[in-house]
């Protein structure tokens, strides 16, 4: 080969080597692993924070709303996987937050399409993994149920380390053995005022989604947001027109004190609840809850109103459900899920008490059941 071409190829080689290491310095390329309790290991590309986290791996089928999902306090203790493959398309805005920051432990996606999502996870110190087969993983969870998992993002992760992570995952606590509500409930009482007050609600905050508060305030209902462990007397001191028990993370059966407080409130004041609130109310009535195989998480869950036979499409995020047979005679099932016929709402025969398992405040939607906030406020007339 003529010496000119040799020199040219050498120069090209040197330039590309330099360029690669330069890009490597500018954009730190991260490795990531997702290690499941059942021994399945996925190696992918890391994004978000360089960190190791543990939690229950769950999937949601919502196609939009990744900001709302990540900031939903009900996901505390869980690593969330999106089944829709492209995430990040439309950026990140604070006005979409459902709490003061990201509450999910980790994020699993097929492909991140926007740097804003990467920055968002970095800002809140949450790791993410992409470039893995989320379809396979979703099917696996559907067949075998939710699993404890570890998500780790680092510059390099050795096979030895992966073995250690598997041991750690196996020893990690089950979600039903962790107190998650105290980590997301407000520490002090916050009053959300409205200009033209028509009603006042005391909200027992077990990890409330902000759009629940917004939906009530928009309807001129003042919201007194109290910590989850607020005592019965203090709740009544605010003279509520009704009490709302919020959504929240973890196993409802762990919240013994809250259940006791609700039991005392039954028959004294109108009560309503959303998601965890529905489960807590059922427990306060003496009913039971159980853990579902993989839960309901998504924005297209069909529920039927048993009184009107109308079907609504709802947003949901729950892994536990109320056992119908356990309910006392004076409490009836009001809504059922048409996919698996599980309980989606309960109602007392005589007292002004009802609650739903789905999320009427759903953001970004669907908004089919927003009218339930008007029904909650109407409880006031049955005081």
Ligand X SMILES: NC(=O)CC[C@H](N)C(=O)O
> What secondary structure does DSSP assign to 255-292, as a single string?
-HHHHHHHHHHTTTS-EEEETHHHHHHHHHTT--EEEE
Site membership for ligand X, residue 320 (CB under 6 A): yes
Confirm whether residue 77 is marked as ligand binding.
Answer: no
Burial tier of 254 (Cβ tally within 10 Å: 0-12, 13-18, 19+): middle
| Nearest distance in Å: CB 185, ligand X | 12
Residue 359 annotated in active site: yes
E strand segments, 52-206: 52-60, 78-82, 86-87, 106-108, 111-112, 127-130, 147-154, 190-192, 199-205
Residue 51 structure tokens: 């960190």
Stretch that binds ligand X, among 93-101, 123-131, 244-252, 323-331 (CB under 6 A): 244-252
Is 275 part of the annotated catalytic residue set? yes
Considering beta carbons, is residue 110 or 296 the nearer one to ligand X? 296
**Strands 127-130 vs 41-48: parallel, antiparallel or unpaired:** antiparallel
Please give the C-alpha separations between residue 201 and each of 238, 240, 262, 270, 369, in angstroms, as whole numbers. Answer: 9, 5, 15, 10, 19
> What are the φ/ψ torsions at residue 332 (nearest 5 degrees)?
-115, 155
Q: Smaller CB distance to ligand X: residue 154 or 253?
A: 253
Taking contact as CB under 6 A, which single stretch among the options 39-47, 61-69, 190-198, 242-250 is the one that binds ligand X? 242-250
Nearer to ligand X, 37 or 251 (CB): 251
Catalytic annotation on 361?
yes
Q: Which region among 47-55, 182-190, 312-320, 360-368 touches ligand X (by CB under 6 A)?
A: 312-320
Residue 248 known to bind ligand: yes
Q: Which is nearer to ligand X, 236 or 292 (CB)?
A: 292
Which member of 46, 273, 319, 352 binds ligand X (CB under 6 A)? 319
Q: Which residues inside 249-288 make contact with ligand X, applying CB under 6 A?
A: 249-250, 275-276
- Residues annotated as catalytic are 275, 359, 361
Q: Name the residues that contact ligand X, by CB under 6 A.
A: 74, 247-250, 275-276, 317-320
Binding residue numbers for L-glutamine: 74, 248, 250, 276, 279, 317, 319-320
């Amino acid at each position: 080969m003529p010496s000119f071409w040799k020199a040219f190829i050498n120069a090209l080689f040197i330039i590309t080597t330099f360029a690669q290491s330069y890009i490597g310095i500018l954009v730190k390329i991260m490795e990531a692993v997702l290690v499941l309790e059942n021994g399945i290991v996925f190696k992918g590309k890391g994004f978000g924070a360089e960190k190791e986290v543990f939690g229950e791996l769950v999937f949601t089928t919502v196609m939009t709303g990744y900001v709302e999902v990540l900031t939903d306090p009900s996901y505390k203790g869980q690593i969330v996987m999106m089944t829709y493959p492209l995430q990040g398309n439309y950026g990140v805005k604070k006005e979409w937050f459902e709490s003061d920051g990201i509450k999910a432990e980790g994020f699993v996606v097929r492909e991140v399409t926007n740097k804003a999502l990467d920055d968002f996870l970095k800002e809140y110190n949450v790791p993410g993994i992409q470039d893995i087969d989320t379809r396979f993983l979703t099917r696996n969870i559907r067949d075998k149920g939710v699993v404890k998992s570890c998500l780790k993002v680092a510059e390099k992760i050795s096979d030895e380390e992966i073995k250690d992570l598997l041991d750690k995952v196996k020893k990690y606590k089950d979600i039903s053995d962790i107190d998650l509500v105290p980590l997301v409930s407000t520490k002090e009482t916050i009053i959300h005022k409205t200009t033209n007050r028509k009603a006042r609600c005391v909200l027992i905050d077990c990890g409330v989604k902000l759009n629940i508060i917004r939906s009530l305030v928009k309807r001129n209902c003042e919201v007194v947001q109290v910590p989850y462990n607020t005592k019965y007397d203090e709740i009544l001191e605010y003279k509520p027109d009704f009490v709302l028990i919020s959504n929240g993370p973890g196993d409802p059966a762990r919240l013994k004190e809250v259940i006791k407080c609700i039991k005392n409130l039954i028959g004294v004041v109108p009560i309503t609840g959303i998601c965890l609130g529905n489960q807590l109310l059922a427990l306060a009535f003496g009913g039971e809850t159980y853990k579902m195989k993989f839960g309901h998480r998504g924005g297209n869950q069909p529920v039927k109103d048993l009184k009107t036979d109308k079907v609504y499409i709802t947003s949901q995020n729950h892994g536990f459900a109320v056992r119908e047979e356990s309910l006392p005679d004076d409490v009836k099932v009001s809504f059922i899920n048409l996919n698996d016929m599980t309980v989606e709402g309960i109602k007392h025969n005589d007292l002004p008490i009802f609650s739903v398992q789905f999320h009427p405040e759903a953001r970004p939607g669907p908004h089919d059941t927003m009218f339930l906030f008007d029904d909650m406020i109407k409880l006031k007339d049955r005081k």
